[in-house]
Each structure stands twice: as structure tokens, then as C-alpha cells.
């Protein structure tokens, strides 16, 4: 059921959905500014087959309405009727919900242990403690994105890597300013099955961090290190030598990347399909033409007026 963008939708409408659509498996209410956690609570408690819930960009939502004061203090489970009703969720998107509370995030670890995909981008309350609880309480997670959250650090990434290990395939941590090469080292050591990593805008990530990912994550398909000013040709050479199956690379705004790094990438990654180099002013048009010759299927996103 898709109700995204319905400005007039309120909790009363969600209660109607919950009471009349008990077999609902998927609900999208993204951008519905009139709903709160009370309406979502009715849905997750009554729709016991609900596997997919998208409640992103809902400014009044501060959780799923499942956390209690006991959860906040001791992370205790709700009574069986409430807990059991929420266990069916597999995919949950609460991105862009600025009212989302830390206690509500931690409660997901108690009430949603079967989650496989979790998106909590642009949620300012998400910190290392919540990441630790989620990683430990949701052991089936294969994809997690907390991009544009200011609080997560290498400590949170360490917990995610330790708890999820080889199950983790997708990690979004763009613009998390406290994440450094240390976090990349944890991922490289513990998460060999990672296929997608986005640390765009994590300015403390350097060539060393790229090297950790290249050496430890054996099946990388996509890596975005755009706007990481300390990523240079050295990191790309390591990446190209270790990741021949790489298909998408984001280097937008990496001013230290030159044509030498791009040529190494083209030589080592023949399956490259998308390369973003906007703002890489040192990369010449000739180096971009070299990439095109070596990887003819690659779409090159650039800002070089001399390359067509």
C-alpha cells in the first residue's frame, strides 16, 4: 500500500488501515507530515505480516511507538503481544525523521530482531550506543545506512562490524564526520562480504582507509569516497590491484586524484560501469578518454569541458 506524500493522512487513517488490512505486507507513508508514532504503532501491532515499512521524511514521527520508559532505562521487551506483532518487519526506513528519539532507535533492537535492511539517514539522535544496540539486537541485518548522522564514530562502526561480520553487504555512512580510517579498518577486518560502501564526505578517511577496504572486503562492487580530500592516486592504485570486480566508484570532489589514479583504476577494474569525477580538477581530459577506451561501458560523470 503506497500512501507516500499524502499530506492529509493522519493517525486516524493509519488506524483504519491497521484494522481493515491485517494481512498488509508493505506500507509506504514517506513524506506524510500528519502522522506520528501512534499511528505507526497501530500498524505494526495489528498488521502481523508487515515486512516492509517506509516512514521516511515524516517530521512528527519519533519512533514506532513501541518503546516505553522501561525500554529507555533497561531496554526491556514489551509484553509478548506487542513484541510478537513487530517481529515480522524486515525492511524499515525511518530516514529524515528529525524527531526520532535515541530510545526509539534502541527499542528497534528489542522489537525488530528480524530486520535485514535498516535506513536511518538524517536522524540526529543516532549515536554509537544506538548502533551497538541495533547491531547486536538485529543479527540478520545485511544493509544499514546512517548517512548524514553527526554522532556515529569509529566506535559505532566497530560494533557494527563485530556483530554483523560477514553478513553485512551494504553500509551507508556518508557525511559522518567522526568516522576515520579506524572505522574502515574494522570493516576490512570483519566484513569480507561488503559490496557497497558509501563514506562520501567523511573527510578523515584517507588512502589508508581505502586500502583497508580494498584488502579486506573481497567482493566490493561500489565504493563512494567523494569529498574525501585525503584520498589520492595511492588509494586508487591499491583499490585497482585488489578489486577487479569493482563496478561503481565515486570520487567527486577528490582534488588529490589525478589522471594516474584514474588510469590505474581503468586498468585494474575492467567491469567499471560508473565513475564520478566531478571536481577532480587535476584529472585531465586525456585520462578520462583513457578510461573510456579501457572501460567502454562505463558512464563517466565529470565537469571537464575538454572531455565529451
CB-CB neighbours of 1 under 10 Å? 12
Whole-number Å distance between alpha carbons of 307 and 39: 53
Cell match 501491532: residue?
Answer: 45
Residue 237 buriedness (CB in 10 A; 0-12 / 13-18 / 19+): buried
pLDDT at 230: 98
pLDDT at 66: 83
pLDDT at 73: 36
Whole-number Å distance between alpha carbons of 280 and 36: 43
pLDDT (average), residues 203-211 = 99
* Best CA proximity match to 126, nearest among 141, 139, 109: 109
pLDDT at 87: 66
Q: Tens digit of pLDDT for each residue in 147-188?
A: 999 999 999 999 999 999 999 999 999 999 999 999 999 999
Task: For residue 72, name the pLDDT band (cuts at 50, 70, 90).
Answer: very low
Q: Tens digit of pLDDT for each residue in 262-282?
A: 999 999 999 999 999 999 988
**pTM metric for this prediction:** 0.92
Q: Tens digit of pLDDT for each residue in 21-38?
A: 999 999 999 999 999 999
* Best CA proximity match to 161, nearest among 182, 135, 137: 135
Cell match 584520498: residue?
Answer: 231
Nearest 5°: the CA angle 147, 151, 154 is: 85
Domains of the chain, first to last = 184-307 (3.80.10.10)
Whole-number Å distance between alpha carbons of 49 and 23: 6
Mean of the per-residue pLDDT values for the chain? 93
Whole-number Å distance between alpha carbons of 163 and 196: 18
Cell match 557494527: residue?
Answer: 160
Whole-number Å distance between alpha carbons of 259 and 284: 6
Whole-number Å distance between alpha carbons of 76 and 292: 56
Task: For residue 82, name the pLDDT band (cuts at 50, 70, 90).
Answer: very low
DSSP per residue, 5-40: T-TT--HHHHHHHHHH-TT--EEE-TT-TT--HHHH
Amino acid at each position: 500500500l503506497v500512501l507516500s506524500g499524502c499530506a492529509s493522512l493522519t493517525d486516524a487513517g493509519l488506524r483504519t488501515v491497521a484494522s481493515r488490512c491485517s494481512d498488509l505486507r508493505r506500507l509506504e507513508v514517506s513524506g506524510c507530515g500528519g502522522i506520528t508514532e501512534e499511528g505507526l504503532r497501530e500498524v505494526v501491532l495489528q498488521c502481523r505480516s508487515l515486512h516492509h515499512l517506509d516512514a521516511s521524511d515524516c517530521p512528527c514521527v519519533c519512533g514506532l511507538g513501541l518503546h516505553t520508559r522501561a525500554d529507555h532505562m533497561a531496554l526491556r521487551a514489551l509484553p509478548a503481544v506487542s513484541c510478537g506483532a513487530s517481529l515480522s518487519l524486515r525492511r524499515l526506513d525511518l530516514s529524515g525523521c528529525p524527531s526520532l528519539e535515541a530510545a526509539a532507535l534502541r527499542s528497534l533492537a528489542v522489537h525488530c530482531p528480524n530486520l535485514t535492511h535498516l535506513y536511518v539517514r538524517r536522524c540526529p539522535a543516532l549515536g554509537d550506543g544506538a548502533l551497538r544496540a541495533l547491531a547486536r539486537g538485529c543479527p540478520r541485518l545485511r544493509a544499514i545506512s546512517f548517512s548524514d548522522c553527526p554522532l556515529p564514530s569509529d566506535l559505532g562502526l566497530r560494533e557494527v562490524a563485530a556483530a554483523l561480520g560477514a553478513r553485512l553487504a551494504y553500509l551507508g555512512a556518508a557525511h559522518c564526520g567522526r568516522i576515520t580510517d579506524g572505522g574502515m579498518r574494522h570493516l576490512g577486518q570483519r566484513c569480507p562480504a561488503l559490496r557497497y560502501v558509501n563514506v562520501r564526505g567523511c573527510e578523515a578517511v584517507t588512502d589508508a582507509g581505502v586500502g583497508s577496504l580494498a584488502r579486506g572486503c573481497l567482493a566490493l562492487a561500489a565504493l563512494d569516497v567523494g569529498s574525501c580530500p585525503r584520498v589520492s592516486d595511492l588509494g586508487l592504485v591499491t583499490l585497482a590491484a585488489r578489486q577487479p570486480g569493482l563496478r561503481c566508484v565515486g570520487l567527486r570532489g577528490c582534488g588529490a586524484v589525478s589522471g594516474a589514479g584514474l588510469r590505474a583504476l581503468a586498468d585494474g577494474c575492467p567491469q567499471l560501469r560508473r565513475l564520478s569525477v566531478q571536481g577532480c580538477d587535476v584529472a585531465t581530459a586525456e585520462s578520462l578518454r583513457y578510461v573510456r577506451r579501457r572501460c567502454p561501458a562505463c558512464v563517466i560523470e565529470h565537469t571537464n569541458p575538454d572531455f565529451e
